[in-house]
A and B are shown apart, each in its own frame.
Chain A
Amino acid sequence: MIEVRNIEKHFGNNYVLKNVSFIFEKGKTNLIIGESGSGKTTLIKILIGLHKIDSGAVLFDGINFNAIKTKEQRILRQEIGMLFQAGALYDSMTVEENIMFPLSMFTDKTEEEKLNRVNFCLKRVNLEGKNNLLPAELSGGMTKRVAIARAIVMQPKYLLCDEPNSGLDPKTAIIIDNLIQEITKEYNITTIVNTHDMNSVMEIGENIAFINHGEIWWSGNKDELLNSENTELNNFVFASKLFKRLKQEDEKC
């Protein structure tokens, strides 16, 4: 479980997050949705300490991230897997080296054990045998999957994903979404996914926070989302013709 309490954050005179409090539950895919520029990436970067907060607290299972020493933060971070918006694979390393990297850095496993674990993770994301490709040789969807493999290789307790399916075709996007959800259930971890893709909201949204103008405007699960009376939320959710139509048909019958 990750809890944020009264988070405030501004860049210059741009007040990005205002008094944000939320609980991201364990064993669930927690979604942060909102328009472009609403502060989703900022919030996720605050969670892992890449941005400093003005005030408030971030608690990982009760541990206040900002109140512990840098050394302890580093240890806590080893339990967090993060999927960046653009993958952020190390481009001087092959797929295998990328995934193996956290293992070499933080464990004393033998080469064979490490390789087994890497191959297991690659298989998990359906990229068996792609060990020796370089990041530059991967497609967008493969990049995301390698990044997922790298994020789970240390068996994290928390998985944070910033727009895991941006730039992907709908079919690949759903594969990625489902993969994230399966991993969440399989290892019973706390997963947070940033997205503005309504398809993935309907696919994996179990606990959704809607950010608008820097505030948590609404929260609930995907069924509550469809039936919500909140105007701003509806404007966001039913912005596309497809979803509008679905809702109308839903109301007819």
Chain B
Amino acid sequence: MTKLLHHLGLYFIMMKKVISIPEKWSVFRKQLVLEIEKVGLNSVGLVIILSFFVGAVISIQTAFNMSSPLLPSYLVGLASRDSLILEFSPTMISLILAGKVGSSIASEIGSMRVTEQIDALEIMGINSASFLIFPKIIAAIFFFPFLIILSMGIGIIGAWVGGLSADVATADFIGGLKYEFNPFYITYAVIKTVFFAFIISSVSAYYGYHTKGGAIAVGKSSTTAVVSSSILILLFNYLLTDIILS
């Protein structure tokens, strides 16, 4: 418990340093572009593949479990839509990004710590926390929602393809997609994603920034970063769902 409070304290001290006006906008812009590439663009492929196949499996399974002729066939489209938009895209994809992006943030910053690159920034008179971490957080907060919306789109295409293979007619599928569609669901997913993006980038950066020791310590930080941000995502998912949907 005291350890948790200790981490929490250090985390907030670090965040206070992180959130400050960049010293040089031109340098910040350059960093931001690099980070958007590292944090976001490099994950597009993964998100597309995952979402397509998960979408397909969801619709096949829904179709398979609804063999009763009493159930309308548009249910496949409806169920796929809701599970993709409400849970799979924002939460599952965020968990996967916690693994991919979180570990890369923690190990990048961690190895800069152990090779004294962060000290080198500090002694040049640069606020290293802000310089390294702020662009990552901004990149994640702005780019993750796009990834999630992309995931929804691709997931639905996957669900349609999966549905075809399970003999769900396209017209029925589309009917299901439109059935009582509430656009707020997307807003809800985006709100969750923004929280998750902040958690992944700041928590991973925290563990990287506080790495102590050598190469082994870097590996440990990146594992801890992934585990902690995943747990926090699940926790916040529960809290946010409770708050927003009730």
Query: Which residue of chain B is the closest to A48 with respect to CB atoms?
Result: B123
Q: Return chain A residues, CB-CB under 8 Å to B112.
A: 90
In whole angstroms, what is the CA distance A36 to B102 when docked?
37
A86 near B116: Cβ-Cβ < 8 Å: yes
Min CB distance, A90 to chain B, in Å? 6
Name the one of A50, A86, A106 contacting B115, with C-beta atoms under 8 angstroms. A86
Give the contacts of B105-156 with A (CB-CB under 8 A). 112, 115-117, 119-120, 122-127
A84 near B120: Cβ-Cβ < 8 Å: yes
- B26 beta carbon closer than 8 Å to chain A: yes
Q: Given that A86-B115, A88-B115, A88-B116 are contacting pairs, would A80 and B27 also be in contact in the complex, using a CB cutoff of 8 Å?
A: no
Name the one of A50, A78, A104 contacting B125, with C-beta atoms under 8 angstroms. A78
Chain A window 77-99, contacts with chain B (Cβ cutoff 8 Å), 1 for yes, 0 for no? 11010101110111100000000
Q: Return chain B residues, CB-CB under 8 Å to A101.
A: 124
B115 near A77: Cβ-Cβ < 8 Å: no
Min CB distance, B5 to chain A, in Å? 21
Min CB distance, B195 to chain A, in Å? 29
- A75 beta carbon closer than 8 Å to chain B: yes
- A74 beta carbon closer than 8 Å to chain B: yes
Q: Indicate the member of B119, B120, B123, B126 with the most A CB atoms within 10 Å.
A: B123
- A140 beta carbon closer than 8 Å to chain B: no
B122 near A50: Cβ-Cβ < 8 Å: yes
Query: Which residue of chain B is the closest to A73 with respect to CB atoms?
Result: B125
In whole angstroms, what is the CA distance A85 to B24 when docked?
28
How many residues of B are in contact with the other chain, CB < 8 A?
Answer: 16
- B167 beta carbon closer than 8 Å to chain A: no
A90 near B125: Cβ-Cβ < 8 Å: no
Q: Return chain A residues, CB-CB under 8 Å to B127.
A: 74
Min CB distance, A63 to chain B, in Å? 14
Q: Return chain A residues, CB-CB under 8 Å to B119.
A: 45, 50, 84, 88
Which bracket fits the contact residues of A?
A: 20 to 34
- B23 beta carbon closer than 8 Å to chain A: yes
- A105 beta carbon closer than 8 Å to chain B: yes
- A220 beta carbon closer than 8 Å to chain B: no
Q: Return chain B residues, CB-CB under 8 Å to A104.
A: 24, 26-27
In whole angstroms, what is the CA distance A230 to B5 when docked?
51
Query: Which residue of chain B is the closest to A102 with respect to CB atoms?
Result: B124
B125 near A106: Cβ-Cβ < 8 Å: yes
Chain A window 41-85, contacts with chain B (Cβ cutoff 8 Å), 1 for yes, 0 for no? 000010011100000000000000000000001111110101011
Min CB distance, A119 to chain B, in Å? 20
Q: Return chain B residues, CB-CB under 8 Å to A105.
A: 23-24, 27, 124, 126
In whole angstroms, what is the CA distance A231 to B24 when docked?
54
Min CB distance, B217 to chain A, in Å? 16
Q: Can you name 10 extra interface pairs (CB under 8 A) apart from A78-B124, A82-B120?
A: A50-B119, A50-B122, A77-B125, A84-B116, A86-B115, A88-B120, A90-B120, A105-B124, A106-B124, A106-B125
Seen from chain B, the residues whose Cβ lies within 8 Å of a Cβ on chain A are 23-24, 26-27, 112, 115-117, 119-120, 122-127
Can you report 22 A-B residue pairs in the complex whose CB atoms are below 8 A from each other?
A: A50-B123, A73-B125, A74-B125, A74-B127, A75-B125, A77-B123, A77-B125, A78-B125, A82-B120, A84-B120, A85-B116, A88-B119, A88-B120, A91-B115, A91-B117, A101-B124, A102-B124, A104-B26, A104-B27, A105-B126, A106-B124, A106-B125
Rank and list the top 6 A-B pairs by shortest CB-CB distance, nearest first. A77-B125, A74-B125, A88-B116, A88-B120, A78-B125, A84-B116
